[in-house]
Amino acid sequence: MAEAGQPSADPLGGGICALTDFLGRTSLRPKTPWCLSVILILKAELDPAAIEAVYERLRARRLSFQKLATSQQGRRCIIEVEEPASQDQRPDSTLKAQLAEWPEISKVLSFRESYPKAQRAPRRFCFADRFESSEFSAQGHVFGELDANSFAWIAGPCSVEDPASVGEIATLVARAGATMLRGGAYKPRTSPYAFQGLGREGLVLLRQVGQDFGLPIVTEALDPRDVDFVAQQADVIQIGARSMQNFTLLRELGRCGRPLLLKRAPSATLDEWLGAAEYCLDAGARHLALCERGVIGHDPSRRKLLDLSVIPALRARCDLPIVIDPSHATGKRPFVTPMAKAAVAAGADAVMTEVHVRPEEALSDQAQALRPENLPGLSLAMRVLCRLEGRRFLKGPCFREDAAEASLLRNLAHDELQAFPGPMSELPNRERLAFSKALPRRQLEDEPGSEQSSRSDQDPQGPSRGR
């Protein structure tokens, strides 16, 4: 970053509030791939020769900088300094302290310095590198690579229970168009007496079923001692919300070579979440995605609150792919599909949902698992939303699109919709009709308000009045 030209208006004239606003705008602008950014506020009494001497000292240390602003008197100067580094080099954590000791500097402010590798990681996630590229190519696009122009659907059981149920569920999600097959072989449970998963046996089973259907598998690792085995079997390793700050596990997984899916702890801030991502990336992880699965709320009618506003908040800080898990966030089947559709519309790169053939018989999380009849409608809704946004829906090799659905998607003229500035009610009749058919109000059997909702889906603790 070269020294800049004309200085901007004085951010100090309005006091600390003006300075805070100025730095906020500066920190959100597109960043070049550097490790550490600091703001230097020089002392007001410095003359131009002294300021030039500061520039020379920065050049001598091979630091890149630009002059952001000067005061109206032209004496106080604000400089942004960035430390260049390669992809594998760590930032110099002592730089801020060293600069603060310079006699010409009044104050050193830092921003976005805690997770430099997360900041410059690309919005790219390769999740099927074990498969032959010929297996996963369609229309010139590689199936196993998620980027800003594509969308993935991860679906499967909460727990790997037995060969029969896993095979049935995999058949359902593969035919519905899922991109990846999820399943828990190691289960972190609140009670030590609850089902803990089948362990290695379950993971081998999940791997075999995934290969049978051509679906990469996503599964969680809980113990650093199991990382090597999990990495041998899984295509993507999930880091659960409870493990988000298990730093020993994060480092082991970062070194294992597998793509990682890092879930947000329910009480974690964005800085804490990105700090956990930084542990993985610093240890060597090449592909990492962030998964939002709900934050703590005060209303018991839902398990957690699904924080979809985290998508634009993360986009302002980094380009890591973002996955949304509405199953764990809401905890209730009728809420999963609406929030999955909202996640696609909000710009999520992927959605992860739990599915079971007979949810009432599931060994864990019965209330949130989608039923088989829920899958076609959800799949179509997400494909329609992707079509409207011009994104590719990454469908697995077993998916065969229904002719009527294919015709509907073709009729959604993306270019016309994208260019149309008015509200949906003013769209041309053809597009509005196609959109309304694709996203019916009561699309699924057990969406809220449906008269066909089964009693097994009702939670005695949940809201039954005043909806």
**Where does residue 62 fall: left (phi above 0), alpha (psi -120 to 50 degrees), or beta otherwise?**
left
pLDDT confidence tier of residue 130, bands split at 50, 70 and 90 = low
- State the residue for tokens 């080099």: 89
| Amino acid at the residue 459 | D
Q: What is the pTM of this model?
A: 0.72
Co-location of 95 and 127 in the same domain: no
Among 379, 400, 421, where does a domain finish? Answer: 400
Co-location of 44 and 163 in the same domain: no
Among 400, 432, 452, where does a domain finish? Answer: 400
Q: Note the pLDDT of residue 452.
A: 41
Beta strand pairing call for 350-354 and 150-156: parallel
Q: Is residue 407 part of a domain?
A: no
pLDDT confidence tier of residue 64, bands split at 50, 70 and 90 = confident
Co-location of 124 and 86 in the same domain: no
Element (H, E) at 19: helix 16-27
Assess contact for 262 and 277: CB atoms under 8 A: yes
| Amino acid at the residue 48 | P
Q: Note the pLDDT of residue 12.
A: 43
Co-location of 146 and 83 in the same domain: no
Q: Is residue 159 part of a domain?
A: yes
Co-location of 88 and 152 in the same domain: no
Q: Is residue 82 part of a domain?
A: yes
Q: Note the pLDDT of residue 94.
A: 77
Question: C-alpha distances in angstroms, 378 versus 355, 391, 393, 408?
Answer: 12, 17, 13, 15
pLDDT confidence tier of residue 69, bands split at 50, 70 and 90 = low
As for how many domains the chain has, the answer is: 2
Q: Note the pLDDT of residue 143.
A: 56
The mean per-residue pLDDT over the stretch 434-454 comes to 40
Mean pLDDT lowest among 140-154, 266-280, 333-347, 443-457 = 443-457
- State the residue for tokens 């520039």: 55
Reported as a single tens digit per residue, the pLDDT across 318-337 is: 999 999 999 999 999 999 99
Mean pLDDT lowest among 2-11, 29-38, 109-118 = 2-11
Distance from C-alpha of 124 to C-alpha of 102, rounded to nearest angstrom: 41
Assess contact for 67 and 52: CB atoms under 8 A: no
| Amino acid at the residue 215 | L
Distance from C-alpha of 314 to C-alpha of 114, rounded to nearest angstrom: 14
Top mean-pLDDT range of 4-8, 46-50, 66-70, 336-340:
336-340
Q: Is residue 11 part of a domain?
A: no
Q: Is residue 165 part of a domain?
A: yes
Reported as a single tens digit per residue, the pLDDT across 7-59 is: 334 444 444 444 444 444 444 334 444 456 677 888 888 888 888 888 898 88
- Name the DSSP letter for residue 166: H
Co-location of 43 and 192 in the same domain: no
CATH number for the domain spanning 183: value is 3.20.20.70
Reported as a single tens digit per residue, the pLDDT across 152-162 is: 999 999 999 99
Distance from C-alpha of 207 to C-alpha of 194, rounded to nearest angstrom: 24
Co-location of 76 and 177 in the same domain: no
Residue 328 DSSP SS3? helix
Co-location of 98 and 125 in the same domain: no
Co-location of 197 and 95 in the same domain: no
263 vs 113: which has the higher pLDDT: 263
Tokens of 78: 């604000």
Residue 27 belongs to domain spanning: 16-113
Among 113, 145, 166, where does a domain finish? Answer: 113
Q: Is residue 435 part of a domain?
A: no
Co-location of 371 and 250 in the same domain: yes
Query: What DSSP line would sit under 187-254, residue for residue?
Result: ---SSTTS----THHHHHHHHHHHHHHT--EEEE---GGGHHHHHHH-SEEEE-GGGTT-HHHHHHHH
pLDDT confidence tier of residue 280, bands split at 50, 70 and 90 = very high
Mean pLDDT lowest among 79-83, 253-257, 403-407, 432-436 = 432-436
Q: Is residue 448 part of a domain?
A: no
Co-location of 103 and 60 in the same domain: yes
CATH number for the domain spanning 21: value is 3.30.70.1140
320-348 burial code (b ≥16 CB/10 A, e <16): bbbbbbbbbbbbbbbbbbbbbbbbbeebb
Please report the sign of the dihedral spanned by the C-alpha atoms of residue 279, residue 283, residue 284, residue 285.
negative
Q: Is residue 36 part of a domain?
A: yes
| Amino acid at the residue 367 | A
Tokens of 66: 């630009």
Tokens of 237: 């390793």
The mean per-residue pLDDT over the stretch 433-454 comes to 40
Q: Select from 148, 147, 149, 119 the least CA-distant residue to 316.
A: 119
Co-location of 296 and 341 in the same domain: yes
Q: Note the pLDDT of residue 330.
A: 95
Work out the percent of the chain whose per-residue pLDDT is above 90.
Answer: 49
